[in-house]
Amino acid sequence: MTRAQAIAHAQDYFDSGSFKSDLTRLIAMPTESQNPERAPVLKQYLEQEMQPLLESLGFTCRTLNHPKAKGPFLFAQRIEDPSLPTIFGYGHGDVIRGLDAQWSEGLSPWTLTERGDRWYGRGVVDNKGQHVINLNALKAVLATRGKLGFNAKYLIEMGEECGSPGLRELCTEQKELFKSDILIASDGPRLNAERPTVFLGARGGVTFDLTINAREGGHHSGNWGGILSDPAIQLAHAIASIASPTGQIRIHEWVPKELPEPVRKALADCEIDGGPNGPVIDPNWGEPGLSPAEQVFGWCSFDVLAMKSGVPETPVNAVPPSAWARCALRFVVGIDPTDVIPALRRHLKRHGFDMVEVSLARDEIFNATRLDPEDAWVHWAVDSIARTTSKKPALLPNLGGGLPNDIFSEIVGMRTIWVPHSYPGCSQHAPNEHLPVAIAREGLAMMAGLYWDLGEGDTPAL
């Protein structure tokens, strides 16, 4: 009954083909939460797959619902001793739209396909593969020790790809039920494919629309060009006032006053690498004086996601009546999320762009969060993973993308540590989503080691 045996048990689960078989079955379920026709499949994923697995591990399960949610939530708990630490796990079984026609020849989002050292399929990394790794690492510890040595709670939602509607309200209502000491979960990518990674929160995100409606209908540019305002030109200038030609944000309320020293220290040895298929970093883009890692994990970024004026598919010689852009701000701790839109409106008014209408693209806004990189639990988790993998894990103060981490850290009130089982070039949310098999096998080992160490009784004080 040793740590090494638990890790070996987890690796045997992979080597035997059982992990691939389980994941194949899950990928075949088209749990597209953005597609209303898939609502029955969201329920089936929890009832037919997740609940039996959790119950086989000694968890007591219950289905929770909320009127705002896209689908049901599955909550499970295993309480071994109220005096022990309680660890909260989280995952989401819904996936982004399959985009079936856009996958490479011979690949399908709903069929797990092995090519070389990769497995392809929608959800292999986001997020089915990741929470199945964690659940079976728990299983490996139970099979070796006969118990976990800590209390465990688990929540699986089916609407994360739609912004987790209802999750905030559910966690508010069920705060006592969900109450735990620390969240240990997996989502998002590692820093790179080879380096195990720990991140402690997530950047916040606000998505909004900028719109100019100048008049009804277009008018011939030969007859009216030069005397009618052009909404496309106006909107282009409005956007240009928000960020410099090199992407530096010009709204002071949208950027932190400084990069905190613990964040700078944690990112000092972190190098962003998307792998051979990843994009080339533009070295002169963004905030001057910051490294690429500091830009993504320590600073804020503004992007224009889409723009439209006139009819791009069939342009005509007419002054367009309107222009529209969907934009997004990713922000870090220190930015007031309630002031993002008001600050934008103030900025546009100061620069003479009163004609621009600003509206939120969706109601849900995730706040920026990060656990202190110097927290004793952070050092404990990093040391455990290093012991298993013989690698120095990358420590990221927060993920560059968005997660509902603020709901767990601020509403439920627990430390949050994320251990991702993916990499930046995985084509998450795109055609050809894939999981490198080496990451999956290593993920099973290091999570089995992490859960084993949790039950040894020498964790930091809570």
Residue 50: pLDDT over 90: yes
Find all residues with CB under 8 Å of 24, minimum gap 6, and list them: 111, 112, 121
Tell which residue, 344, 359, 362, 343, has the closest CA to residue 239. Answer: 344
How is the chain split into domains, by residue range?
A: 3-202+368-454, 204-256+300-360
- pLDDT of 259: 94
What mean pLDDT comes out for the span 68-75? Answer: 94
Helix axes 3-15, 437-454, angle to 10 degrees: 150
Predicted confidence at residue 31, as pLDDT, reads 98
> How many angstroms separate the CA atoms of 251 and 361, rounded?
20
Q: What is the DSSP letter of 207?
A: E
193/92 Cα distance (integer angstroms): 22
Tokens of 310: 């006139």
Q: How confident is residue 401, by pLDDT bands cut at 50, 70 and 90?
A: confident
Average pLDDT, the chain: 96
User: Is pLDDT at 453 greater than 90 in this prediction?
Assistant: yes
Which residues is 118 bridged to in the sheet? 115, 436
In the chain, pLDDT over 70 holds for what percent of residues?
A: 100
Structure tokens, 302 = 């503004």
Tell me, what's the pLDDT at 278?
A: 77
Q: In what order do the strands lie in the sheet with 301-309?
A: 301-309, 322-331, 204-213, 357-360
- Predicted local confidence at residue 39, as pLDDT: 96
The tens digit of pLDDT for each residue in 345-369 reads: 999 999 999 999 999 997 677 799 9
Q: H helices then E strands: how many in the chain?
A: 15, 19
pLDDT at residue 13, as a whole number: 98
> What's 3-202+368-454's CATH class?
alpha beta
Class of domain 204-256+300-360 (CATH, top level):
alpha beta
Which tens digits make up the pLDDT trace of 149-176? 999 999 999 999 998 999 999 999 999 9
- 421 CB contacts (<8 Å, ≥6 apart)? 125, 129, 130, 133, 186, 190, 435, 439, 440, 443
Q: How many percent of the chain have pLDDT more than 90?
A: 94
119 C-beta neighbours (distance < 10 Å), count: 23
Predicted local distance difference test score (pLDDT) of residue 273: 80
Q: What is the pTM of this model?
A: 0.91
Mean pLDDT of 214-242: 97
Residue 29 is encoded by which pair of tokens? 């379920």
Tell me the mean pLDDT in the region 183-209. 96
